[in-house]
C-alpha cells in the first residue's frame, strides 16, 4: 500500500483509525503488566546472583507458556531449542548480574520464563510482557530463534526496558527501545565470548539465517543497511545516519528500521576505545536507559544527551569515553 494512503488515515481517520495508524499505543506496557502480573521470585529458591530459569515447550501451539520442560539446575534436556534457551538466558542473567549488579529483569530475581517451539514454522521471537517466546523458524529462510545468544538477550532486554523506562514502542522512542535490545544483546555475546569491540562482528541474528538467504544477518550495527539483500526477504532497510531516517507507518513507525541509527552510534563509540564494550560505553548506555530523565516518548537527541551526561559522570568530561560518545552521535547526525 502506498505510504500516502496510511498518512491520510493518520490525518483524517476517526479516533480509532488514528490510533491504529499513528502507533500511539494508549494501552501501554504498565497497564498490561498490572493486568497480568508476571510470577514473582520463589522465596524458597531465591538467591540473588543466581538465575531462576523455567523453559517451556509450546509444542507447536500458540498457547503460553506451554509445558514446563527444564527448570533451574536440571540437566540438559537433549532438545536443542530447550537447551539453547536455557544456556543463553543464563548467559544474559550472568551479564546483567556481573556487569551491572542487576538481579534479573526486575532486579528482584524475577524468574526467566521462556517458551520454545512456539507455533509452526514460526519466524519470530518476542517478549509478551511476562515471558520470552521463540519460534523454530521455517527451515527455508530461518533457523530456530534460540540459536543466537544476542537474540535471546535481545528479548530479555525488552523486559528490562519495560521495567526501567517503559519507552513506548513506536517511532523514535520505539527505535531506541529496539536499539537498546540490540546493544545489550551483542554485549551479552561479547561478554560471554570475551570479545573486544574490534574483534566482534556486531551482527544481529547471523546464526538464524539459513544458507539459502543472501545475507549475513538480520541487522548490522556496524553497517546498517548491508545485512542482507535477498530476492525473498528484500533488502536491509536500516539507515545508519539521520539524513536517511525512514518516515513510515509500517512496523510501528519503523522501530526495527531506524534503530540502525542509534545502533551505529553505539558501535562507533565502542570501537573508538580499546577496552571491552561492556566496560567502556556499555555502562554509559545502561545508565542513560535508567535515567529518570529519559521520557517514555524520548527521541534520539534526548537519549544522546543522556549518554553524554553519563559518559561525563562515569568517565569524566575530558575522558576518551566522553569524546568517543560525542563523536559517535555526531557521525550519525543525531547531534551537530
**Active-site annotation, residues:** 155, 256
Rounded Cα distance, 173 and 325, in Å: 19
- Based on CB atoms, which residue is closest to other proteins, 204 or 328? 204
Q: Which residues lie across from 133 on neighbouring strands?
A: 115, 126
- Minimum distance, C-beta of residue 315 to other proteins, in the bound complex (Å): 30
- Based on CB atoms, which residue is closest to Zn ion, 132 or 281? 132
- Minimum distance, C-beta of residue 161 to other proteins, in the bound complex (Å): 8
Q: Which one among 99, 113, 168, 304 touches other proteins, defined by CB under 8 A?
A: 168
Residue 181 lies near Zn ion (rule: CB under 5 A): yes
38 binds, among other proteins, Zn ion, none (CB under 5 to 8 A by kind): none
CB 162 within 8 A of CB 38: no
CB 146 within 8 A of CB 118: no
Asked, as a colleague might, if the bond just before 65 is cis with ω within 30 of 0, I would say yes
Range 252-271, binding other proteins (CB under 8 A): 252, 255-257
Q: Which one among 8, 108, 120, 313 touches other proteins, defined by CB under 8 A?
A: 8
- Based on CB atoms, which residue is closest to Zn ion, 57 or 157? 157
Q: Which one among 124, 193, 210, 212 touches other proteins, defined by CB under 8 A?
A: 124
Task: Give the DSSP letter of residue 75.
Answer: P
What is the side-by-side strand order in the sheet with 112-118?
Answer: 67-71, 53-57, 112-118, 132-135, 125-127
**Binding marks (x or -) toward other proteins, 56..95, rule CB under 8 A?**
------x---------------------------------
Integer angstrom CA distances of residue 78 from 23, 57, 74, 160: 42, 13, 12, 29
Name the segment binding Zn ion (CB under 5 A); options: 5-13, 25-33, 40-48, 171-179.
Answer: 171-179
Residue 325 lies near other proteins (rule: CB under 8 A): no
Helix 171-193 and helix 300-315, axial crossing angle in degrees, nearest 10:
40
Residue 12 lies near other proteins (rule: CB under 8 A): yes
Q: Which one among 250, 301, 302, 335 touches other proteins, defined by CB under 8 A?
A: 250
CB 227 within 8 A of CB 216: yes
- Minimum distance, C-beta of residue 7 to other proteins, in the bound complex (Å): 10
Name the segment binding Zn ion (CB under 5 A); options: 14-22, 79-87, 164-172, 176-184.
Answer: 176-184
Q: How far is CA 242 from the centre of its chain?
A: 20
Helix 300-315 and helix 320-331, axial crossing angle in degrees, nearest 10:
170
CB 177 within 8 A of CB 255: yes
Looking up cell 503488566 gives 33
Residue 23 lies near other proteins (rule: CB under 8 A): yes
Q: Which residues lie across from 235 on neighbouring strands?
A: 229
* Ordered alpha helix ranges (H), the chain: 3-12, 15-22, 29-35, 80-100, 149-164, 171-193, 250-254, 260-271, 282-290, 300-315, 320-331
Residue 203 lies near other proteins (rule: CB under 8 A): no
Residue 233 lies near other proteins (rule: CB under 8 A): yes
Residue 251 lies near other proteins (rule: CB under 8 A): yes
- Minimum distance, C-beta of residue 74 to other proteins, in the bound complex (Å): 27
Residues that bind other proteins (CB under 8 A): 1-2, 5-6, 8-9, 12-14, 16-17, 19-21, 23, 25, 27-29, 32, 62, 123-129, 142, 145, 151, 154-155, 158, 161-162, 168-170, 177-178, 181, 205, 208, 218, 228, 230, 232-235, 237, 250-252, 255-257
Sites of contact with Zn ion (CB under 5 A): 178, 181
Amino acid at each position: 500500500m502506498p505510504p500516502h494512503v496510511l498518512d491520510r488515515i493518520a490525518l483524517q481517520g476517526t479516533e480509532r483509525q488514528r490510533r491504529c495508524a499513528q502507533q500511539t499505543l494508549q494501552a501501554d506496557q504498565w497497564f498490561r503488566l498490572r493486568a497480568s502480573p508476571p510470577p514473582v521470585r520463589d522465596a524458597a529458591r531465591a538467591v540473588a546472583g543466581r538465575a531462576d530459569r523455567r523453559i517451556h515447550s509450546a509444542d507447536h501451539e500458540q498457547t503460553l507458556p506451554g509445558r514446563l520442560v527444564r527448570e533451574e539446575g536440571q540437566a540438559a534436556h537433549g532438545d536443542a531449542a530447550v537447551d539453547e534457551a536455557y544456556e543463553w538466558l543464563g548467559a544474559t542473567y550472568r551479564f546483567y548480574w556481573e556487569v551491572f549488579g542487576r538481579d534479573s529483569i526486575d532486579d528482584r530475581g524475577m524468574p526467566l520464563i521462556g517458551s520454545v517451539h512456539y507455533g509452526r514454522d514460526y519466524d519470530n521471537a518476542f517478549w509478551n510482557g511476562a515471558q520470552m517466546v521463540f519460534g523454530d523458524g521455517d527451515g527455508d529462510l530461518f533457523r530456530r530463534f534460540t540459536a543466537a545468544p544476542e537474540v535471546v538477550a535481545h528479548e530479555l532486554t525488552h523486559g528490562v526496558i519495560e521495567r526501567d523506562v517503559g519507552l513506548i514502542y513506536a517511532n523514535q522512542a520505539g527505535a531506541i527501545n529496539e536499539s537498546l535490545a540490540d546493544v545489550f544483546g551483542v554485549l551479552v555475546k561479547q561478554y560471554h565470548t570475551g570479545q573486544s569491540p574490534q574483534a566482534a562482528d556486531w551482527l544481529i541474528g547471523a546464526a538464524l539465517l539459513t544458507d539459502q538467504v543472501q545475507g549475513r544477518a538480520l541487522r548490522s550495527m556496524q553497517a546498517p543497511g548491508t545485512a542482507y539483500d535477498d530476492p525473498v526477504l528484500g533488502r536491509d532497510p536500516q539507515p545508519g545516519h539521520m539524513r536517511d531516517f525512514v518516515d513510515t507507518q509500517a512496523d510501528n513507525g519503523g522501530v526495527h528500521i531506524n534503530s540502525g541509527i542509534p545502533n551505529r552510534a553505539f558501535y562507533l563509540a565502542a570501537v573508538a576505545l580499546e577496552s571491552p564494550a561492556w566496560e567502556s560505553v556499555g555502562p554509559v548506555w545502561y545508565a542513560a536507559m535508567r535515567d529518570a530523565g529519559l521520557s517514555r516518548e524520548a527521541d534520539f537527541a534526548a537519549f544522546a544527551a543522556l549518554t553524554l551526561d553519563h559518559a561525563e559522570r562515569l568517565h569524566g568530561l575530558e575522558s576518551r569515553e566522553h569524546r568517543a560518545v560525542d563523536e559517535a552521535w555526531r557521525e550519525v547526525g543525531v547531534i551537530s
